[in-house]
Amino acid sequence: MKANLTIILIAVLGLFITSCKETTSSEPSASPEQVFTIAIHGGAGAMPKGTYTPEQEAAFHAKLKEAAQLGYEMLSRGDSAVDVVQAVICMLEDSPLFNAGKGSVFTKEGKIQMDAAIMNGRTLDCGSVNNIQRVQNPIKVARMVMDSSKYIMFSGEGAEQFAQLNNIPQADASYFYTQHQYERWKGMKDSTEGKYIRYVDSVMALQNIPTVLNNIEEKFGTVGCVVKDKYGNLAAGTSTGGLMNKKFNRIGDSPIIGAGTYASNNTCAISCTGTGEDFIKTVAAKTVADLMEFKGLTLEAATNELIHVRFKEIKGDGGLIAIDKNGNVSFQYNSDGMFRAKVDDKGNITTYIYNE
């Protein structure tokens, strides 16, 4: 009898253990792998084909391709969309080719003031900094604000103190001072508001041409990245040195969530470049997302509506890059060109400069 009872108890215990194992193994795992995509921009503006020499064009294409390749390799191994956005933008900030990080332009007072923002489309968490001067990679501070703070936006000295407390690398002011941007600033700093002289926000563009460029609209060298990772999550980030010769600590759209930067898994991820005031007026990035969510527009239709219809109404200028939740990519701009690149989950990288 005791032997039979022992057998029964062992059998019941075995069923209990099996049940526990089944319960553990049935817990939800990570989302299944999906098609991943990345898109990058390095600024938009009036730069008709022929603005740059073949050597200059090659330099832009090479840096955009390098950044896209980095993003592809990270996505391939399963890195998150947010991590990829940060890494790609850091690479662009470290290049003097663009108006962000090392290649940033000068303010009216001859200072460097940089803005950046990043947003996680899965959680809607976001972080932003503006008018910082001594942080080597502003996008890292924006990410830290998002991950390690109950706030969303830090400004100026406060943002730099936060960066220092979190051991984010800082740099001496001389790190950001490129000779080409300095020469541009010298030629512009005493100009009046009404004088029609614009500049090309690109160090490379100034190597073989005069500092003052008459009748050439400004090229906005802001950098940005939007990503859909293999788990279906979206993220967006933007970084800029702002406008050359800006006054009164002006802040553009790049660090403003919903204007120059936005991401939501429900719709899309967007990074904008152009005249910041125009993107702020139209709450551009969020407007695109809302057109998709509430009016049922496709990504292409929504971005086209923003840049080619609503911007036309306010005489706005600039462009944007976007990725939707299905991995579709859209490049929209109303200028002669936009430095841009994209790469798909097969590793096919395409880079562009002009309207092509």
Least confident piece of the model among 41-50, 179-188, 195-204: 195-204
**Amino acid sitting at position 140:** K
| Alpha helices, H only, the chain | 2-25, 54-76, 81-93, 138-148, 156-165, 173-176, 179-188, 276-281, 284-295, 299-305, 311-313
For the chain, what are the domain ranges? 37-354
Strand partners, 337: 45, 354
**pLDDT confidence band for 220 (50 / 70 / 90):** low
Examine the pLDDT at 199 and tell me if it is beyond 50.
no
Average pLDDT over the chain, rounded to an integer: 84
Strand partners, 39: 226, 342
Percent of the chain predicted with pLDDT > 90: 67
| Alpha helices, H only, 130-275 | 138-148, 156-165, 173-176, 179-188
Q: What is the mean pLDDT of residues 146-152?
A: 97
**pLDDT confidence band for 197 (50 / 70 / 90):** very low
Strand partners, 224: 41, 238
For the chain, state the CA radius of gyration: 24
Q: What is the mean pLDDT of residues 333-340?
A: 92
Active site residues: 222
Span 4-47, pLDDT tens digits: 544 444 444 444 333 333 333 332 334 567 899 999 999 988 77
- What 245-248 contacts at long range (C-beta under 8 Å, 24+ apart), as own/partner pairs, is 245/105, 245/106, 245/107, 245/108, 245/185, 245/188, 245/189, 245/191, 246/107, 246/108, 246/113, 247/107, 247/108
**pLDDT confidence band for 182 (50 / 70 / 90):** low
Spatial distance between the Cα atoms of 240 and 35, rounded to a whole number of angstroms: 29
**Prediction pTM value:** 0.83
Q: Are strands 219-220 and 37-45 parallel, antiparallel or unpaired?
A: antiparallel
Least confident piece of the model among 245-249, 327-331, 341-345: 245-249
Spatial distance between the Cα atoms of 160 and 148, rounded to a whole number of angstroms: 15
**pLDDT confidence band for 86 (50 / 70 / 90):** very high
Which CATH number does 37-354 carry?
3.60.20.30
Closest Cα to residue 321, out of 347, 343, 303? 303
Spatial distance between the Cα atoms of 32 and 12, rounded to a whole number of angstroms: 36
Give me the phi and psi of 143, to 5 degrees please: -65, -40
Asked if 225 and 88 touch (Cβ cutoff 8 Å), the reply is: yes
Sequence-separated (6 or more) residues with CB below 8 Å from residue 24: none
Report the Cα 308 to chain-centroid distance in Å: 21
Spatial distance between the Cα atoms of 231 and 298, rounded to a whole number of angstroms: 21
